[in-house]
Amino acid sequence: MKNWKEIEQKMQTLDALQHAMNKILYDMETIAPSGAIPKIGKTLETLSGIYYYELVDNGLLALIEAEKEADYLEAISIDAIELDDLSREEKAAGTFFGTTIEWDMMKELKREIQKISKIPADSYRAFQELSIIGHAKWLEAKAANDFAIFAPTLKKIIAYKKQYIEYQGYDQHPYDALLDDYEPGLTVTELDIFFSGLREKIIPFLKKINASEKMQAITDKKIGEGFFLQAKQEEFMVFLAKYIGYDFNRGQLGISAHPFSQSFSNDDARITTRYVEHDIYSSIFSILHEFGHAIYEQNIAEKLTMTPLGSGISMGIHESQSRFYENMIGRSESFWNPIYPAIQAFFPDSFADVCLADFIASINLVEQSFIRVEADELTYPLHIMVRYEIEKKLFSDTLTVEQLPEAWNTLMMEYLGITPANVNEGILQDIHWSQGYFGYFPTYALGSAYSAQFFEAMKREVDVEKDARDGDFTAITSFLARNIHQFGKLKTPKELMIDTTGEAFNPDYYIDYLIEKYSTLFLNK
Stretch touching Zn ion by CB under 5 A, among 127-135, 241-249, 263-271, 314-322: 314-322
Contacts of 427 (CB under 8 A, 6+ apart): 147, 404, 405, 408
Choice between 292 and 507, CB closer to Zn ion = 292
Choice between 96 and 296, CB closer to Zn ion = 296
Active-site residue, from 67, 102, 183, 290: 290
Nearest residue to Zn ion, by Cβ distance, number only: 322
DSSP run (H or E) holding 389: helix 380-394
Stretch touching Zn ion by CB under 5 A, among 109-117, 131-139, 169-177, 319-327: 319-327
Ramachandran angles phi, psi of 446, nearest 5°: -60, -40
Choice between 294 and 361, CB closer to Zn ion = 294
Number of residues that bind Zn ion (CB under 5 A): 1
Choice between 18 and 451, CB closer to Zn ion = 451
Angstrom distance (rounded) from CA 173 to CA 395 = 9
Binding mask 266-305 for Zn ion (x = CB under 5 A): ----------------------------------------
**Closest distance to Zn ion from the beta carbon of 496 (Å):** 17
Stretch touching Zn ion by CB under 5 A, among 69-77, 276-284, 315-323, 427-435: 315-323
What is the 3 state secondary structure string of 109-128? HHHHHHHHHCCCHHHHHHHH
**Closest distance to Zn ion from the beta carbon of 1 (Å):** 39
Q: Is-catalytic flag, 82? A: no
Q: β-pairing, 268-273 with 261-265? A: antiparallel
Q: Are 26 and 262 in contact (CB under 8 A)?
A: yes
**Residue 221 vs residues 364, 471, 521: alpha-carbon distances, Å:** 14, 29, 16
Provide the sign of the torsion angle of the four alpha carbons 86, 89, 92, 96, taken in this order.
Answer: negative
Provide the sign of the torsion angle of the four alpha carbons 401, 403, 409, 413, taken in this order.
Answer: negative
Binding mask 320-339 for Zn ion (x = CB under 5 A): --x-----------------
Instruction: For residue 279, list its beta bridge partners.
Output: 276
With H, G, I as helix, E, B as strand and everything else as coil, classify residue 53.
Answer: helix
Choice between 99 and 322, CB closer to Zn ion = 322
Chain residues 107-166 in contact with Zn ion, contact rule CB under 5 A: none
**Residue 167 vs residues 52, 53, 115, 202, 297: alpha-carbon distances, Å:** 17, 19, 9, 38, 31
**Closest distance to Zn ion from the beta carbon of 286 (Å):** 9
By CB under 5 A, tell whether 87 contacts Zn ion: no
**Closest distance to Zn ion from the beta carbon of 260 (Å):** 8
Angstrom distance (rounded) from CA 406 to CA 104 = 47
**Closest distance to Zn ion from the beta carbon of 124 (Å):** 27
Choice between 137 and 318, CB closer to Zn ion = 318
Contacts of 379 (CB under 8 A, 6+ apart): 206, 366, 367, 368, 369, 416
Torsion of CA 22, 25, 26, 30, to 10 degrees: 180
**Residue 355 vs residues 1, 143, 222, 281, 358: alpha-carbon distances, Å:** 65, 41, 13, 16, 5
Angstrom distance (rounded) from CA 49 to CA 425 = 37
**Closest distance to Zn ion from the beta carbon of 319 (Å):** 5
Q: Are 229 and 277 in contact (CB under 8 A)?
A: yes
Choice between 76 and 371, CB closer to Zn ion = 371
**Closest distance to Zn ion from the beta carbon of 318 (Å):** 7
Write the DSSP symbol of residue 307: S
**Closest distance to Zn ion from the beta carbon of 312 (Å):** 11
Note the residues at the interface with Zn ion (CB under 5 A).
322
State the catalytic residues: 290
